[in-house]
Amino acid sequence: MRILAGAIFLGIALFVFITPMLRLVWMSFRTEAGLGLGNYCKLMAQPRTSRAIVNTVVVAVGATLISVFLGAGSSFLVACTDVRRKRLVEMLTLAPFVIPSYITTLSWSSFLSRRGWVNRSLTVLGLPMLDVFSMGGIILVLGICNAPVVYLNTMHMLRRVPRELEWASLASGRGVWETFFRISLPQVMPALIAGGVLAFLAAIDNFSVPAFLGIPAGIPVLSTYIYENIIGFGPSSFNLAAALSVMLSVIAITGAFLQGRLIKKTSGMESIAEDRSVRVPLGCARGWVEGGAIFFLLTLTIVPLLAMVSSAFLPNYKNLALENITLKNFAFVFTNRGVRQAVVCSLQLASLTVLICLIAGTAIAWLRVRRGSAVIRIVEVSSMLTYAMPGIVLALSMIFHWTMFPGVYGTLRILLIAYVTRYLILQIKGSAAAVTAVNVSLEEAALVYGGGMVRVWVQVILPLIARSALASAFMIFAYSFTELTLSSILASAGARTVGLTVFSLQQAGDTHLSAAMSTVIVFAVLIFYLLSIVLRALGKRPRRKGAGEP
Amino acid sequence: MDLVISNISKKFGASHALQDVSAEIKSGEFIAILGPSGCGKTTLLRIIAGFIAPCSGEVLLSGSLLSSPSGGVPIQERNLGMVFQSLALWPHMTVRENIEYPLKSRRNRGMSRKARQEALEGAMTSTGMAQFANRLPGELSGGQRQRVALARAIVERPSLLLMDEPLSALDAELRVNMRREIQDIHRLTGATIVYVTHDQNEALAMADRVMIMRDGRIEQVASPREIYRRPETEFVATFVSKCNLLKGSWDGRNFSIAGVVFEVEPSDLPARRFIERGLFPVRPEDFCMTHGSGCESGGIEGQVANRQYNGRETHYKVRCGSELYTVYVPSGEDVFSLDEWVRLRLKVR
């Protein structure tokens, strides 16, 4: 009975997670003349392919360097130094994490638009204009978008470097800075590199930034090149796109594997308690460093956003001036039928995705932590693979796989399946961490005192893991509500998403409309995060009180 | 190179970690700071080292200011060696690199290559770590790691060695062996050693003088023998020598309790503080316990409440009225059973 259940479970998991990828690989080898390397040869013969590959590498490496600089820099300021307003520095660094990357892109394109005050000032000074629709623009925006990944990876590790290691170095006659570079930095190096690898992966995975900035400028990277091939509908375009996807996936999965190895190296530090004391006092430079860092981060994240918000109040081809201000763009956003449909659509998708992920992910997480059978391991690794794969590649494999079933492709269902396939691992990881934190004896005790499995779940497990599990669910909701990459390929006429609407408005040249819609999204996201913080704060108190009671 | 600690106070938030602590440590002395956890002993050591600044008071080394509320000598310019509780070996450096690290600092810039090499080899051979020079700390056993930490602390031949519970990470047997090595290092280097521990055996076994601390204050500073034989406060009496505090009244050399009078030898009279408060500290091994049955009188009457066999001796808890006394009876002497009525007298020395 148990073996049968395991086999069915394994079958479903392989069918959902693994077969789409295998089908993609198979499609990449299929040509009109049968199986072979024809598609790859054809791709290599096109100069655009090698340009896309080179661009991808240049963009990813450049963006990673920026992300590492920003992320490591502000994690150093927050974790080690005595600057004040650390919450503000952290919020400014993490802002691009909360805001969808296409909105950050839009904000930069309004900030550096030809009629924006930056470029007008540059022209007045006789300097060349800054063009965000360029390689440099793509690199900069991607670098800003992925900095939070590096920050989150290094900040907590820096706080975990044992103070005694540093004191031992000071007592050995070394100064504060020398101690930081010789002793503390090497301890967090694996985490920093792992963060860099994650930022690199996020850069090659990202579709929205090169789509918004690269497509108009004719700069292809692999993700947008795959997109162009898919929507190009040429005779063998799907197979060519599949071959490109295989190339991109090989890079991504190698990177993910490398990152996993690096994380293992730092695993010893996970259990060390964080120490928030000042490790590197800045002395009289503190005020300058603090002001400089906040000014710099404001310029990178908030000022462009404000430029976007202000452009949302302008009609096309007009400069910012009091008499030009209009609410027409917002009127469009709130009254347009297509926009309303997209919002309804994204809300439905996000809610269903969260619901499915929450139930399936928590169940899988519990089985993995408590039973840890081989089947569950395979399920986990499979769902990890679909997350590590670039979104555009996943989207393509979803088309190949789910067209077998009528009524899936071309409806909302394919998007729902794709979202769950992509985001399930986030819930598994979040819930698994929560279940691990619950001592198994609590469950056993409940069973011993005569609770059935249902009662144990309702009365013991769920109350204890609810907070952490819901945190992951919130994240998945935010991701899937604003998602663009998957929907750019999988959405159909009757089922457009919020992200796609912004994208097509921008592609059609309605920059101010897309800015207005993005402004609304940013406010929605902010309210959503505030709500989740308030909910979490409310959830904290009664649990503490009740913990000791029978 | 006398180390003078004068009127040091330290507050963390609202709690007093140290209150008006003063002490003088002579050059070349091995002083142990002993106390239960939270007594402020590690805070005091960290203030001497310079990792934290005191709220008031100062630390002087050979008459010059070392630590004070407004800073003092930067840590990197103090010539001191330190062994940390966690050992704090740098995991990414080999044994040699760990030990060599202090020698390559700015304060040793004037050192010749040869002198540096000699210092390194001296430290490695005296701790027996020469053969492990190229290993990483993660590849060493607990005792070996301990020796690397010691070697690193003594490689510069500092005049002041600070040790913060250096043996607490080791298992019981190794801890006893390492005591001897630390004593050897003290003899070899002639450095002043300030050694923080919560293990009274360690403190009594190694130190020239022991400083007992409680709740951020010094209770007593004296030689191990004096601490043990003549405690000056109730805390020292109970914490170090596990004394029973008998409550009665003193009349000259006579201590009376519950109608029983003990005549105490002049040399065994406790400190004034105890006499003033009508207390008499008696160590568990200084009781003489006899079976209470029979008509012989004298001694405090009590009943055996608990018995634990410990090999060399048996530990009894005896209930006398509302008090519970601890009595050690050497193995080979009479055995008492639970609930038996017994009599306690003072041993005649």
Q: Are residues A251 and A383 in the same domain?
A: no
Total H helices, total E strands in chain A = 27, 2
Q: Are residues A101 and A55 in the same domain?
A: yes
Residue partners of A126: CB distance under 8 A and separation at least 6: none
Q: Are residues A355 and A246 in the same domain?
A: no
**Winning range, highest mean pLDDT, from A60-64, A481-485, B271-275:** A60-64
Q: Is residue A22 part of a domain?
A: no
Judging by DSSP bridges, how do beta strands B30-34 and B192-197 pair with one another?
parallel
pLDDT at B317: 94
Q: Which residue of B has its CA nearest to A189?
A: B92
Cα distance between residue A508 and residue A500, in whole Å: 12
pLDDT at A166: 94
Q: Are residues A297 and A348 in the same domain?
A: no
pLDDT tens-digit profile of A375-399? 888 888 888 888 888 999 999 999 8
Tokens of A410: 């071309």
pLDDT at A300: 93
Domain that holds residue A470: 326-550
Q: Which residues of B touch A174 (CB under 8 A)?
A: 76, 101, 105-106
Q: Which residue of A has its CA nearest to B156?
A: A172
Decide if pLDDT at B325 tops 90: yes
Judging by DSSP bridges, how do beta strands B244-247 and B217-222 pair with one another?
unpaired
Contact A368, A380 (CB under 8 A): yes
CB contact under 8 A, B108 and A175: no
CB contact under 8 A, B82 and A171: yes
pLDDT at B41: 92
Q: Which residue has the higher pLDDT, B268 or B162?
A: B162
Residue partners of B177: CB distance under 8 A and separation at least 6: B143
Q: Which residue of A has its CA nearest to B46?
A: A167
CB contact under 8 A, A173 and B102: yes
CA distance A172 to chain B (A): 4
pLDDT tens-digit profile of A441-470? 888 888 888 777 888 888 888 888 888 888
Give the CA radius of gyration of chain B.
24
Q: Are residues A192 and A338 in the same domain?
A: no
pTM surpassing 0.90? no
Angle at the Cα of A363 from the Cα atoms of A360 and A368, rounded to 5 degrees: 120
CB contact under 8 A, A174 and B85: no
Return the DSSP state at A280: B
Integer angstrom CA distances of residue B288 from A346, A424, B282, B284, B321: 86, 74, 11, 9, 18
Helix then strand then coil, % of chain A, to nearest 5: 80, 0, 20
pLDDT tens-digit profile of B200-238? 899 999 999 999 999 999 999 999 999 998 999 999 999
Decide if pLDDT at A369 tops 70: yes
Q: Are residues A168 and A304 in the same domain?
A: yes
Residue B258 binned pLDDT confidence (cut-offs 50, 70, 90): confident
Cα distance between residue A97 and residue A172, in whole Å: 41
Q: Are residues A301 and A330 in the same domain?
A: no
CA distance B98 to chain A (A): 10
Judging by DSSP bridges, how do beta strands B30-34 and B56-61 pair with one another?
unpaired
Q: Is residue A23 part of a domain?
A: no
Kindly report the number of other CB atoms within 10 A of residue A60's CB atom. 25
CA distance A170 to chain B (A): 5
**What is the arithmetic mean of pLDDT over A202-220?**
92
From the list A168, A173, A175, the residue facing B88 with the nearest CB is: A168
CB contact under 8 A, A173 and B106: yes
Q: Which residue of B has its CA nearest to A179?
A: B76
Q: Which residue of B has its CA nearest to A185?
A: B92
Residue B294 binned pLDDT confidence (cut-offs 50, 70, 90): low
CA distance B89 to chain A (A): 7
**Which residue, chain included where needed, has tokens 């009975």?**
A1
**What's the CATH number where A67 sits?**
1.10.3720.10
Q: Is residue A76 part of a domain?
A: yes
From the list B86, B92, B107, the residue facing A173 with the nearest CB is: B107
Contact A141, A103 (CB under 8 A): no
Exposure string of A383-421, with b = 16+ CB inside 10 Å and e = fewer, is bbbbbbbbbbbbbbbbbbbbeeeeebbbebbbbbbbbbb
Q: Is residue A320 part of a domain?
A: no
Mutate to test the interface with B, among A172, A185, A265, A275 (most CBs of B within 10 A): A172
Q: Are residues A230 and A200 in the same domain?
A: yes
**For chain A, first and last CA: distance in Å?**
37
What domains, with CATH codes, occur in chain B? 3-229 (3.40.50.300), 242-346 (2.40.50.140)
- Structural domains of chain A, count: 2
Kindly report the number of other CB atoms within 10 A of residue B188's CB atom. 12
Q: Is residue A31 part of a domain?
A: no
CB contact under 8 A, B152 and A173: no
Q: Which residues of B touch A167 (CB under 8 A)?
A: 49, 51, 75, 82, 84, 88
Decide if pLDDT at A430 tops 70: yes
Residue A272 binned pLDDT confidence (cut-offs 50, 70, 90): confident
Q: Are residues A163 and A118 in the same domain?
A: yes
Q: Is residue A15 part of a domain?
A: no
Q: Which residues of B touch A (CB under 8 A)?
A: 49-51, 75-78, 80-82, 84-86, 88-92, 101-102, 105-108, 152, 156
Q: Are residues A297 and A185 in the same domain?
A: yes
CB contact under 8 A, A168 and B152: yes
Return the DSSP state at A298: I
Contact A135, A219 (CB under 8 A): yes
Q: Which helix (H) or strand (E) holds B102?
A: none
Q: Which residues of A touch B (CB under 8 A)?
A: 162-165, 167-175, 183, 186-187
Contact A265, A192 (CB under 8 A): no
Q: Which residues of B touch A185 (CB under 8 A)?
A: none
Cα distance between residue A410 and residue A415, in whole Å: 9
Q: Which residues of B touch A187 (CB under 8 A)?
A: 91-92
Q: Which residues of A touch B90 (CB under 8 A)?
A: 165, 168-169, 183, 186
> What is the ipTM for the molecules in this complex?
0.85
Q: Are residues A239 and A387 in the same domain?
A: no
Q: Are residues A306 and A333 in the same domain?
A: no
